[in-house]
Amino acid sequence: MSGSHGQILICRNIDEVLQEAASGIIDAAQNTIASEGVFTLALSGGSTPRALYQLLAAPPFADEAPWQQIQIFWGDERHVAPDHQDSNYRMAREALLDHIPIPPENVHRMLSELPNAGAAAITYADEIHRTFGLEPGELPRFDLILLGMGEDGHTASLFPHSPALAERTALVVANPVSKLNTTRLTLTLPVINNAARVWFLISGGAKAEMLKIVLEGSEHSDEYPSQLIAPTDGDLVWLLDAPAAAQLSPNLRQSAVAGLG
C-alpha cells in the first residue's frame, strides 16, 4: 500500500519483519553513504527492536554495514541513567553497540542521567545541531528513524494528550507522561516528519486493534499520536507481522507491498 499512510509491508512473523528491517537498513545505509558519505539513524526503544539490533550485530549484517560512516542517535529515551535497566541506550549498547566496530564518536546518546530532563533535551538538541551542522532554526533530516507503536497508539515518547504533541519548534523535549508518572525525552514531530525514511516496526496481536484505529480510523491524533507521523518529504513504511495486521481491512492488506526494495 502506498497512500496517505505510506507503505505497508506484512510479514508472516516477527522474524521476517526483522530480516526485512535489517536488510533494508543495510541497503539504505550503503546507498546513502555511496552518495552522501554518511547515514544518520535514530533507534527506537522498547522490546521489539532489541532482536533487530541483535540481528544487525551478527553476520551477515554486521559485516555488511559501513559502521564507520553510520551516525547513531535515539528517537527517545527514558529519564534514567545509561546503565539503568529501562535505558534505551543500554538496550542498544548490549544488543548492538558492544558488538560492532562503530567509532564511539558516532554514537550520540541522550544525557538522560541529567537531573533536569529539560536540560537533557536541550543538550541533545545541541548535539544534533552540531552533528548535522545545522543553521539556527534548521531541522535535521535523519536518513532513517525507527519507531515502534504502543498499544495506546504512542510512538517514540509522544504519548496521548502529552505536551510534546504540540511542540513545533524544539528538536527534542522532556515530555511529562502522566500515566507513567514519569518524564521521557523524545524527538519532536517536526524532526520525525522531516526524515527521509520513517519505519514503524510493529509486532503481535496486542497491537492489532490500535493499528487499525491508527491506519483506518478517523483522525484523533491527540488520542492516537502515531497518526501524527507523516513525513513531509520522506518514505513512511509500516513493517508489520501478520498478527499485528490481522484487523486491517482487506483492501489495505491487499495493497501491502512485498518488500522494502
- Which positions touch ligand 6PG (CB under 6 A)? 44-48, 76, 88, 148-150, 154-157
Nearer to ligand 6PG, 72 or 149 (CB): 149
Alpha helices in 114-192 (DSSP H): 117-132, 189-192
Nearer to ligand 6PG, 132 or 200 (CB): 200
Between the alpha carbon of residue 236 and those of residues 163, 167, 204, 249, the distances in Å are 24, 21, 20, 19
User: Shortest gap between Cβ of 169 and ligand 6PG (angstroms)?
Assistant: 22
The DSSP output letter for 147 is E
User: Shortest gap between Cβ of 129 and ligand 6PG (angstroms)?
Assistant: 22
- Cell 525525552 belongs to 185
SS3 220: coil
User: Shortest gap between Cβ of 86 and ligand 6PG (angstroms)?
Assistant: 8
User: Shortest gap between Cβ of 44 and ligand 6PG (angstroms)?
Assistant: 5
Distance CA 176, CA 163 (A): 7
Q: The C-alpha cell of 46 is what?
A: 522498547
User: Shortest gap between Cβ of 135 and ligand 6PG (angstroms)?
Assistant: 28
User: Shortest gap between Cβ of 245 and ligand 6PG (angstroms)?
Assistant: 15
**Angle made by CA atoms 189, 194, 199, in degrees to the nearest 5:** 80
Distance CA 78, CA 231 (A): 24
User: Shortest gap between Cβ of 183 and ligand 6PG (angstroms)?
Assistant: 12
Nearest residue to ligand 6PG, by Cβ distance, number only: 148
Distance CA 149, CA 48 (A): 10
Nearer to ligand 6PG, 69 or 198 (CB): 198
User: What is the crossing angle of helices 48-56 and 14-36, to 10°?
Assistant: 50
The DSSP output letter for 217 is S
Nearer to ligand 6PG, 64 or 94 (CB): 94
Nearer to ligand 6PG, 5 or 90 (CB): 90
Q: The C-alpha cell of 210 is what?
A: 490500535
- Cell 549484517 belongs to 61
Nearer to ligand 6PG, 123 or 182 (CB): 182
Nearer to ligand 6PG, 69 or 215 (CB): 215
Q: The C-alpha cell of 8 is what?
A: 505497508
